[in-house]
Amino acid sequence: MLFLKQLFTWWNGQTLNTRFYTWRKGNYVGADQFGNKYYRAKSALPQSIKERRWVVYNGYSEASTIPTGWHGWMHHRTDVPPTAESYVPHEWQKPFLPNQTGTPNAYRPKGSILAGAKPAPSAADYSAWRPE
């Protein structure tokens, strides 16, 4: 079953091509608290990008599960991965929260029918243009 998932789906972990590329060229850098594994490989064009970096998700591919320290490393904002330094998130950085769309915890703006309120009445703030 795992073989079929890797063959036909890209949103469950890694595809066969990613597995082969990781096996052939990938250097393991580390893992985060969600079980995502991070890799890097030397770039074919070192003049433009020094290295290629990628993540193999643990389970469903959800980009928001990448913690802030790893996000900076993935986007080449820092050269040092969080495993090589003692990275501590700032107090204003929120922990991971999965996407709440379609759940009872989803954001419902004021006046939304799904929030249980009646829609706000429309205000007469528009007057049509009339030529003189």
pLDDT at 39 over 90: yes
- pLDDT, residue 120, reads 63
Angstrom CA distances, 108 to 95, 98, 102, 116, 117, stand at: 21, 16, 11, 9, 10
- Residue 82's SS3 state is helix
Q: Which domain holds residue 64?
A: 2-96
Nearest CA to 13 out of 76, 57, 65 is that of 57
User: For residue 72, is it within any domain?
Assistant: yes
- pLDDT, residue 80, reads 87
Cα–Cα distance measured from residue 95 to residue 97, given in angstroms and rounded to the nearest whole number: 6
User: For residue 31, is it within any domain?
Assistant: yes
pLDDT at 102 over 70: yes
User: For residue 36, is it within any domain?
Assistant: yes
User: For residue 107, is it within any domain?
Assistant: no
Average pLDDT (32-39) is 91
User: For residue 38, is it within any domain?
Assistant: yes
Nearest CA to 81 out of 116, 21, 46, 40 is that of 40
Domain count, the chain: 1
User: For residue 117, is it within any domain?
Assistant: no
User: For residue 125, is it within any domain?
Assistant: no
pLDDT in tens, 64-94: 888 888 888 899 888 888 888 877 778 888 8
- pLDDT, residue 38, reads 94
User: For residue 19, is it within any domain?
Assistant: yes
- pLDDT, residue 28, reads 94
